[in-house]
Amino acid sequence: MDCVEDEILLTTMKLHQILLAVAIAFGLIFIIPSACTRPEQATRILIQNGYSNIEITGWRPFAAGKDDTFATGFSAISPSGHQVTGAVTSGWFKGGTIRLD
């Protein structure tokens, strides 16, 4: 009977490991990307710099510099009237930077 109980315990432990892996994957896919954007700040910075028709497109992790924590993608009309895409990047102790694609 001990072998059966050991088998049940191992199966339960494997199930817990699988559930933990799923929870971590869920966090990486759905929670972290939204936590790494600042849409209100990005919109404010773009408006202050003359951009219009701003559409926030979400997290842009590869647009950020080494000192940036946040990267918010956007599509907008530039001050010169051209359709542009890019990201507004920022960090905890620095201002925002508009980076165009």
Q: What is the pLDDT of residues 20-36, one digit of tens each?
A: 777 666 555 544 544 57
pLDDT of 66 strictly over 60: yes
User: Sign of the CA dihedral 93, 87, 76, 82?
Assistant: positive
User: Does the global pTM surpass 0.75?
Assistant: no
pLDDT of 61 strictly over 70: yes
| Predicted local distance difference test score (pLDDT) of residue 6 | 63
Q: Which of 29, 60, 56, 58 is nearest to 45 (CA)?
A: 56
Q: Which of 74, 36, 68 is nearest to 52 (CA)?
A: 74
Domain boundaries, the chain: 1-35, 36-100
